[in-house]
Amino acid sequence: MINVTFKQLRYFEALARHRHFGRAAEACAISQPALSVQIKELEAMFGASLIERNARDIRLSGLGEALLVRARDILRAVDELEDLTRSTKGALAGPLRLGLIPTVAPYLLPGLITHMAQTFPDLDVRPRETVTQTLIRDLIDGRLDVAILALPISEPALVETALFDEEFVLVRPQDDADKPVPRPEALREMRLLLLEEGHCFRDQAISFCKLPSAPPRDLMEGSSLSTLVQMVGAGIGVTLIPEMAVPLESLNARVSLARMAEPRPKRSIGMVWRRSSPLAKELAVLAEELKGFVAARFQIADAGRHPA
């Protein structure tokens, strides 16, 4: 009989996710030698190697890949048992693992944390900022309870509910303030600054400007909206940013702002959680509460309306 512990499964799942002993140990808040011991014990139980070690990273063996699928199913089921216990209390309480995309987190999160602390004093919000595909994977695998990101997701295992819509704003150098606002097709001929690959906002900007799916190699890219706006202020090009980012990003930048002609580019931001989550009812209540918070903070009446 194989007496595998939940702790060992969690350590193995972290190692499989990070593909590096040091990063996996850090994520599990243990030392690297302690993690190695647990993995070796796990391999001893199965009588075979679960990973292939090399100097830079690790790879899963065939048995390791099979174990990973089952380990994630088991860990997700255990997490949902904990959520089921929480849901019987009829109120949001305890830890809530909240994911946000980078083009939302800096502008929404500070006020959101304060508001949730006042509205749900027993809730322990644990935010994480990362790109959409990682958030979706972590939601499905049970490492996140809920995420705030751009819709639609169109993932059958997830429930999505819209919170609000917002327009994109054109950011140009200060000297261009009096120039006519270019049409979307004209942006293709300008030096358009975009976020790096992996950001959904990049894909939305490419779609609006009707750029090819594989933009030119000399296209200027940045790691954050702040970087893009500062590059515009230095006269390097132009960019698009979501409206909620305007107050913060334009504060100390030598740039001018303009709204595009109709139909203006926009995106829908919403909340997403697992369809199977025992907290589904509580998360739906949270979504309604957040709609009200966003409406007051950004002067949005509801999803489908734009910031004033």
pTM attached to this predicted model: 0.73
161 and 175 together in one domain: yes
What's the number of CA atoms in the CB half-sphere (13 Å) around residue 82?
A: 11
150 and 74 together in one domain: no
**DSSP-assigned beta bridge partners for residue 149:** 270
Q: Is residue 1 assigned to a domain?
A: no
42 and 180 together in one domain: no
pLDDT in tens, 240-284: 999 999 999 988 889 999 998 888 888 999 999 999 888 888 899
pLDDT in tens, 201-212: 888 887 877 666
Q: Is residue 223 assigned to a domain?
A: yes
* pLDDT averaged over every residue in the chain: 84
144 and 181 together in one domain: yes
pLDDT at 127 over 90: yes
**What is the DSSP-derived secondary structure letter of residue 303?**
B
30 and 101 together in one domain: no
CATH classification at residue 54? 1.10.10.10
Where does the pLDDT of residue 307 fall: very low under 50, low under 70, confident under 90, or very high at 90 and above?
very low
pLDDT in tens, 83-111: 665 655 556 778 899 999 999 999 999 99
Euclidean distance between CA atoms 120 and 130, whole angstroms: 24
Q: If you average pLDDT over residues 132-160, what whole number do you get? A: 92
pLDDT of residue 203: 82
pLDDT in tens, 65-80: 888 888 888 887 777 7
Domain ends where: 69, 85, 101? 85
32 and 109 together in one domain: no
99 and 27 together in one domain: no
pLDDT of residue 213: 58
Q: What Cα–Cα distance (Å) separates residue 263 from each residue in 184, 201, 208, 211?
A: 10, 18, 10, 17
- The domain containing residue 240 runs over which residues? 90-308
pLDDT of residue 219: 63
33 Cβ neighbours under 8 A, 6+ residues apart: none
pLDDT of residue 52: 85
74 and 99 together in one domain: no
32 and 143 together in one domain: no
CATH classification at residue 105? 3.40.190.290
* Residue among 112, 159, 125 at smallest CA distance from 297: 112
